Amino acid sequence: MKFRKRPIVVEANQYDPAYSYPIDGLCFCVEGGTTWAGGPTLCGCPHVHTLEGILHVSPGDWIIKGVNGEFYPCKPDIFAKTYEEPK
């Protein structure tokens, strides 16, 4: 059987360490815990807390907010094949 993904609109932001704007769902490891984007990055390991656990985020990855408010990272090539801006 084949299935087509339902056309839904998601919120997404691309992670670029050169910019310090906050990205919903993106965390950084710091002493004593984590802080949301825009905070100190003492160990330089950005990540997202997902339903499947903690996943590392690399520069260029997209941080997607799912339909239930959950967050997950997506590699740029997969994002380009899966999503497009709504018209």
By the 8 A CB rule, do 75 and 55 touch? no
Helix (H) or strand (E) holding 77: helix 76-82
By the 8 A CB rule, do 32 and 43 touch? no
Instruction: Please state, in angstroms and rounded to a whole number, the distance separating the CA atoms of residues 12 and 62.
Output: 6
Q: How many domains does the chain have?
A: 1
Give residue-wise pLDDT tens across range 34-83: 454 544 444 557 888 888 888 888 999 999 998 888 999 999 999 999 99
pLDDT at residue 3 is higher than 90:
no
pLDDT at residue 32 is higher than 70:
no
pTM of this prediction? Answer: 0.74
Domain that holds residue 32: 11-82
Report pLDDT for 24: 83
Please give the residue that has the higher pLDDT: either 69 or 5.
69
By the 8 A CB rule, do 64 and 11 touch? yes
